[in-house]
Amino acid sequence: MPAVLEELQSIESRRRKLVGRIVFGLMVLLSALIGALGGLLLIYSTDLPQVEHLENYRPISTTELYDVHGHTIGTFALQRRVVASYQDFPKVLRDALISTEDKSFYRHWGINVWRIIGAAYRDVESGERAQGASTLTMQLARNLFLSPDRSYHRKIQEALLAIQIERRFTKEQIFMLYANQIYLGHGVYGFEAASEYYFSKPAKQLTLDEAALIAGLPKSPVYYSPINHPDRALHRRNLVINSMLEDGKITALQATDARNQPMRLNLAHDPNSLAPYFVEEVRRYLENKYGTDEVHSGALRVYTTLDMDLQSVANQAVLDGLAAYERRHGWQGHLDNVLLEGQKLAGYRHPDWDEPPAAGSYVHALVTAVSPGMARLKIGNDIAVLSQVDVAWTKRQPTKLLTPGDVIYVNVLSRASDNQMRVSLEQDSGSQAALLAIDNATGEVRAMVGGRNFNVSKFNRATQALRQVGSSFKPYVYTAAIDQGARPDDVILDAPVTFQSSSGAYSPHNFDEKYEGIITLRRALAQSRNIPALKLADRTGIRVVEDYARKFGISSPLPPYLPVALGAAEVTLMEQTSAYSVFPDDGVRLVPRLIAKVTDYDGRTLEEDYPEVKDVISSRTARLMTSMLLGVVQHGTAVAATKLKLPLAGKTGTTNDFTDAWFVGFSPSLTAGVWIGYDEKKTLGPKETGARAALPVWMQFMSAALAGKDPGQFQLPPDLPPQNTAQTVDTSDLAPAGDESH
């Protein structure tokens, strides 16, 4: 018995020693593991960014431009983003995102351990690192601080950062940061910007199916793009809806109804497309003053002088005027053909197709098929058919005009909901036009059209093109004469004359090669007679005339030669239009401006622009000249404008060989100028005067711009009899108006 007891004691002693050794070994192993883990954490945490910087985090945001009514007219951005608060994201969107990306978001402390273990097991089983297992917080950490490479090193850093973020910020703050930062395709960052881009409305107004669609994009914005891959996007949307149903966020009835909804995108129009030349002018100014980085990522708020309503009218007037000009000169052909250039019809896209064309717009179209009596066209994702009626002005059959692969120019007459369009054939021979409108009271530019198509040519013909102004220069001559004592009813001899100069004899002529004899200055200007203008300039002194033009704001070079009096000088439309505003402004010039105010990300005012006023001429001279320019409209070269029955004044201008056509004019409240021509020195064609080519564009614009508004009345000198500026004039007994070149 004692022997058995001793044996048992011996066994117990050995067991205790073994257990002690095992425990000691485990402790050593655990210490080693803790040490190794601590070392790894030390290594991986080295150089980690400080998450407390998020308290002052300011994402790269869009600079926005506003018109005078507060409407967005343009944006500058490296990343298209609209920063929103947590409350701006509706519950349906939050539920959709959390059900899809991170079901335990409101419960975990930055990482989901079980999800990581499951993902790691699947990674080992598949032999790939395909399972991310990232929580929203980890995704936020990666997007803000880390590279997108898929490695265990980055994953550990991601987890460490996520834990730090969770310790310092609330779940609402984390969700807001994530929802503003995440990339959602097509240059869009954040769910507010995505909602505005894909559905043209704020996130607060998203329906269940719409919220599910954009909540499915973070997984792969390119692969699930609803624009490029609608079938994949639809499938992904329905998976999100199913996840919401499984989590009890929605009812079965709501899920079924949402899954049955078609995918209805309403892509936002590019605001820059309404006034691209104006927006480009603003961009150049801002970048020169604040720098490119600040303009494209600093979330500036730029309050411009543009009026979207007037800009839309200006765009239409210019395009309609060019279309009318093109039709007057018949079909010329010379079409580009993509098939002859080695391209395929299916793969062709024109820059015009970046935005869905609206009714009234002019765009390029691709001819896909031609048959007797009709041609089939492609315009982006839309289709159209040209019938014989739509090409009647060419006096040809479609089969004689077009072949498959031709790129043609059309006017969109109407657009149905089934992507069907009704169009008419137009022509783009290269003719160009520009229009500029300035508010007389402030000098603010209300509308600017710099050419036919910004996508084709970025050159701004309203501010950059130096063109001869023809007879629209004559008001400076008459202003100088009036200031030196002449009166509108003084007479002058309109007869052949020869001027002697250092370069020899100069014998000018009138546009119509006729002479009227003794006429008043008022009639000489109204009928745009050349000889009286030259005599006045010679008598006053051409350098004096040029000094007056400088005071009016003409800064372009003016050669000191007598023919300058007839417009043999090149100026910009901006200069000429701004100069004419001196007349209705009682002799003062308000320097034209495009920006009223600029604020930074925090709302602080960076600049505020006020009108810069310069005295040019006396109010009496300005009023006398206004009365004379009224005569141009009432019974002169611009008599067609009397049908508007509005107080209007202005001057036509035409250059030699009809290369440039001008009309610059004003009402008591608005001054506008129009130029039409080719970029190269090329004739517009016989009889394409300022009255014929430019005046109709000006009239269309002014008619719409002043519609429904009190036009006001011009202030005339007290020593002149009052005139009914809206009276319709019977011109049947007048000689044909001359609109001469120099």
Instruction: Report, as residue numbers or ranges, the catalytic residues.
Output: 101, 471
Pairing of strands 80-81, 188-189: parallel
Contact between 305 and 593 under an 8 Å Cβ cutoff? The reply is: yes
In the numeric block, the tokens 């881009």 are attached to 197
Pairing of strands 570-571, 467-468: antiparallel
Contact between 665 and 651 under an 8 Å Cβ cutoff? The reply is: yes
**How remote is the C-alpha of 307 from its chain's centroid?**
13
Residues 202 and 221: their CA atoms lie apart, in Å, by 20
Amino acid type, 356: P
Residues 579 and 152: their CA atoms lie apart, in Å, by 68
Contact between 69 and 446 under an 8 Å Cβ cutoff? The reply is: no
Q: What's the burial of 384, exposed, middle or buried (CB within 10 Å: 0-12/13-18/19+)?
A: buried
Amino acid type, 586: D
Structure tokens at 366: 């691709």
Pick the closest to residue 399 from 369, 420, 421, 378 (CA basis): 369
3-state SS string for 499-515: EEECCEEECCCCCCCCC
Q: For residue 61, what is the DSSP state?
A: B
In the numeric block, the tokens 């429904």 are attached to 708
Q: What residues have CB less than 8 Å from 70, skipping those under 6 apart?
A: none
282: enclosing H helix or E strand:
helix 276-290
List C-alpha distances in Å: 90 to 97, 203, 442: 11, 7, 43
Q: What residues have CB less than 8 Å from 313, skipping those under 6 apart?
A: 447, 700, 701, 704, 705
Q: What residues have CB less than 8 Å from 682, skipping those under 6 apart?
A: 659
Pick the closest to residue 303 from 562, 71, 140 (CA basis): 71
Contact between 271 and 355 under an 8 Å Cβ cutoff? The reply is: no
First to last CA, the chain: 141
- Please give the angle made by the CA atoms of 600, 175 and 71, to the nearest 5 degrees: 35
In the numeric block, the tokens 């880390």 are attached to 146
Contact between 205 and 88 under an 8 Å Cβ cutoff? The reply is: no
Pick the closest to residue 739 from 488, 499, 469, 537 (CA basis): 469
Residues 732 and 720: their CA atoms lie apart, in Å, by 26
Residues 211 and 202: their CA atoms lie apart, in Å, by 11
List C-alpha distances in Å: 163 to 50, 168, 192: 12, 9, 27
Contact between 651 and 638 under an 8 Å Cβ cutoff? The reply is: yes
Phi, psi for residue 68 in degrees, rounded to 5 = -70, -15
Q: What residues have CB less than 8 Å from 652, skipping those under 6 apart?
A: 470, 471, 472, 528, 632, 637, 638, 662, 663, 689, 690, 691, 694, 695, 739
Structure tokens at 666: 């004003």
Per DSSP, helices labelled H in 608-722 are 619-635, 695-705
Structure tokens at 184: 């959602």
